[in-house]
Structure 1
């Protein structure tokens, strides 16, 4: 069976992604996916393949969009690097809080569920992690150039710490922490980043020290 009229791959993958995020890989059936997408099993098989292929397609599409969004949100001038970083972390929390079902990000969920037992999913999740960490490290380097962070600190290590911290914060949404508590945790994480010793100096010109907003 071919694709039904009006088939929109992106919309179908978004519905598939939500179904997997709600019930997990093992807890999601093809009947669940069929009901969520409005496509019969035959159409799903013809368009994507089996359940595992559907999952990988949805995971890949989700990660592709996330990677592009992360890069756009974190790139910018050195002078506003810390503000961008804080806004990025808060926006990530807000997106989960504002989701009708408060679903955790797909990468976080399936890193726990599938990493190590599904080689293809693990490889895609690792690629997504590396991309997110690289975008964060780039923003941290900008903050170092601006004199907001210790130039001796390793940005990739700090970026990894931020990913771990954010994924932990994301899990707290599921147990009911409110936005004010979550933002306070984000601010505490950012306040714990290593500041430069002595007077704050950056490459372009001296500015007032970064203050937490």
Structure 2
């Protein structure tokens, strides 16, 4: 098992994060964590503290990375905002299937499991959801400014709808729905947005079903 004395803490955190995503907080024992980290219990506690502290550290690292990834998808000029919203949906169809272990989002796992061992973890999850909603809302507003979405539509409601679709597709993927079927969901969800007549008359984005395999 043992790692060398100068082990990389970031690598350990990533390995333990995947263990928590695989088996959840309650379903992950300290022995599971030690095995994933390739560290003895003593080294694990000395470097990271107890299970709760390590969970919080992995959750924080996951949220930071996830928020940065979504920002890379959703931030940009007004002229491509509608395409970025579609890219959000397409990426949502592939999130689970593109992972070799088909792990889902750690934030979703936290919510479904109902983990309440640490108010700091709950607060970090709320902040993650607020930040993703903010990114989506800004992208929707950009599409409205460009004339691609109805300017009278509530941008925050649209962002919340897209987030709900994202989480739902993750759950359905973990339940066995294949990427092609999820691609059809993304296409229908996009068609259901309050697109302006101009946006509908232009060439539609490449269907998600075309590259979901």
TM-score, scaled relative to structure 1: 0.88
- Aligned residue number for residue 104 of structure 2: 104
C-alpha deviation, 1:6, in angstroms: 2.9
- Aligned residue number for residue 210 of structure 2: none
CA distance in 2, matches of 1:19, 1:96: 15
CA distance in 2, matches of 1:18, 1:176: 20
- Aligned residue number for residue 29 of structure 1: 29
- Aligned residue number for residue 72 of structure 1: 72
C-alpha deviation, 1:10, in angstroms: 1.6
Paired residues of 2:96 and 2:174 also in contact (CA < 8 A): no
C-alpha deviation, 1:100, in angstroms: 1.7
Q: How many residues align?
A: 204
Distance 1:42 1:117, change over 3 A: closer
Paired residues of 2:93 and 2:186 also in contact (CA < 8 A): no
12-21 or 56-65: which moved more?
A: 12-21
- The runs of 4+ residues in structure 1 deviating greater than 3 Å are 115-118, 207-210
Q: Secondary structure at the match of 1:25?
A: coil
- Aligned residue number for residue 86 of structure 2: 86
Q: Secondary structure at the match of 1:185?
A: helix
Unaligned runs of 5+ in 2: 207-213
- Aligned residue number for residue 131 of structure 2: 131
- Aligned residue number for residue 53 of structure 1: 53
CA distance in 2, matches of 1:118, 1:164: 25
- Aligned residue number for residue 211 of structure 1: 204
C-alpha deviation, 1:182, in angstroms: 0.3
- Aligned residue number for residue 170 of structure 2: 170
C-alpha deviation, 1:93, in angstroms: 3.0
- Aligned residue number for residue 145 of structure 1: 145
- Aligned residue number for residue 120 of structure 2: 120
Paired residues of 2:22 and 2:103 also in contact (CA < 8 A): yes
- Aligned residue number for residue 38 of structure 1: 38
1:90-145: CA deviations, max 9, x gaps? 22432320212211111111111135664222111000001111111111111111
CA distance in 1, matches of 2:7, 2:168: 37
Distance 1:86 1:61, change over 3 A: same
Paired residues of 2:133 and 2:160 also in contact (CA < 8 A): yes
RMSD: 2.0
Unaligned runs of 5+ in 1: 202-206
